[in-house]
Structure 1
Amino acid sequence: MAIREQESRKRKKMDASGLTSFFREIAFRHPLEQITFLCIGTDRSTGDALGPLTGSRLLEHGFPHVSGTLPSPCDADNLEARIAEIPTGQIIIAIDACLGPPASLGYFLTAAEPLRPAQSVGLMLPAVGHYSLAAIVDVNGPRPYRTLQSTPLNRVMGMAGQIALAAAAGFGMDDRKAFQE
């Protein structure tokens, strides 16, 4: 789970329709071969499954460098090892779930800066990413772990699909399957 909305003024709040331009700007600056998607989260919590669900969808769209999928999640236990596996020179797009205010539910926070995974639940993990995308999957409250456990899976799956479709469109990937869904 990534940083909260109010913690960075450099983050842009947008709905799914704005994500394509976020990815298009990255694609304009960096070739696809230089991009690694680092999709953070675990499949053991519905709210925090956004990362591995997104990673799996990105692979389905044909992205060559993705770390963090349903079969092989990138979570708090292995984040530092996963970061170390990424070759030097790669541009990292970090993707994670987060909690936010009620009015922001279902929105995305994007930035040309790193995000801090698990900050909302009190863990101190390294900031990661040249670019970051945090999906506000549920409302922040006094019990973030419980909130993540009870986050509707349908919402998380929908947001993961929106991210993957926007990335494919932004990078100009010819993915007829994605547009048939």
Structure 2
Amino acid sequence: MSFYEKSVDVSKPFSFIYFSSYFEEIFKIKYNDSYSDTVILCIGTDRSTGDCLGPLVGHKLKDLKLKNVHIFGSLDEPVHAKNLQLYIDKLKLYANPFVIAVDACLGKVDRIGFISIKDGPLSPGAGVNKKLPSVGHISITGIVNVSGFMEIAVLQNTRLSLVMNLANVISGGLRYSLWKYFGSNTSVAADLERKMDNRVNIINSGEP
């Protein structure tokens, strides 16, 4: 059972900042120097609009150049139900990888557009009644549509704009947070941190 869970509404202002803050909070709790590598496992398929959240996040992170940080899953090479076990086996090539799992999910109508960040593994396929291996030390899910009936059809009729907004917040937040942790001595990370500090100051001052 997760002892940590936070959620972010991507329709609200500063959702990127809140996501980054929550992710960093749990990452600092869970991650330590005993891990050899960090793997972002982006699960989903580009053949379904609602289920392409993971591949979109992977696509947006594919140019992330940080030592021992790896991206599994993208629009070009999606990680889905049929090959998930293959990628889980691939994790064994690393001595002790820390896995961040990303996937789309279905939920209550008033939770559509929320991102959930949890301690513990992700159970891919649960929303469409598929039994797949659980994976991840941290799980990140984006609620793309309503659950309860005709789940596969619902995923295929999800608005792309919503999925893109979710992917932008997740990929941007992960990029910034991991740069801070693993590459904070780079000029790019320093510039990002200055911009984030300015945004946080705006929030604290109550300005629009």
When normalised by structure 1's length, the TM-score is 0.85
- SS of 1:60's partner is coil
* Contact kept in structure 2, 1:61 and 1:164, CA below 8 Å: no
* Contact kept in structure 1, 2:36 and 2:96, CA below 8 Å: no
Count of aligned positions:
172
Per the alignment, residue 66 of structure 1 pairs with 71
**Does 1 or 2 have the higher relative contact order (CA < 8 Å, sep 6+)?**
1
Per the alignment, residue 101 of structure 2 pairs with 94
Q: Which one has a bigger Cα radius of gyration? A: 2
Per the alignment, residue 126 of structure 1 pairs with 133
Per the alignment, residue 77 of structure 1 pairs with 82
Give the stretch that moved more between structures: 23-32 or 40-49.
23-32
CA deviations over 1:44-95 (Å, ceiling 9, x no partner): 0000000000011112343540001111000000001101111240100000
Give the stretch that moved more between structures: 141-150 or 12-21.
12-21
Q: How does 1:13-162 map to 2 (within 5 A)?
A: 13-15=7-9, 16=15, 17-25=17-25, 26=27, 29-30=31-32, 34-62=37-65, 64-86=69-91, 87-162=94-169
Alpha-carbon distance between aligned partners in 1 of 2:51 and 2:148, rounded to the nearest angstrom: 15
Alpha-carbon distance between aligned partners in 2 of 1:14 and 1:161, rounded to the nearest angstrom: 13
Aligned residue identity for 2:65: G
* Contact kept in structure 1, 2:121 and 2:138, CA below 8 Å: yes
Alpha-carbon distance between aligned partners in 2 of 1:47 and 1:9, rounded to the nearest angstrom: 28
Shift of 1:12: 2.5
Shift of 1:105: 0.8
CA separation of 1:152 and 1:62: change in aligned 2, threshold 3 A: farther
Give the stretch that moved more between structures: 12-21 or 86-95.
12-21
Q: Name stretches of at least 5 consecutive residues in structure 1 with no aligned partner.
A: 1-6
CA deviations over 1:146-174 (Å, ceiling 9, x no partner): 00000011111121111011112212263
* Contact kept in structure 1, 2:23 and 2:117, CA below 8 Å: no
Aligned residue identity for 1:54: V
* Contact kept in structure 1, 2:36 and 2:95, CA below 8 Å: no
* Contact kept in structure 1, 2:2 and 2:119, CA below 8 Å: no
Give the stretch that moved more between structures: 27-36 or 41-50.
27-36
- Counterpart of 2:170 (choices 151, 163, 166) is 163
When normalised by structure 2's length, the TM-score is 0.74
Backbone CA RMSD of aligned residues? 2.4
Alpha-carbon distance between aligned partners in 1 of 2:95 and 2:55, rounded to the nearest angstrom: 23
- SS of 2:155's partner is helix
* Contact kept in structure 2, 1:27 and 1:170, CA below 8 Å: no
* Contact kept in structure 1, 2:8 and 2:114, CA below 8 Å: yes
* Contact kept in structure 2, 1:94 and 1:131, CA below 8 Å: yes
Aligned residue identity for 1:68: G
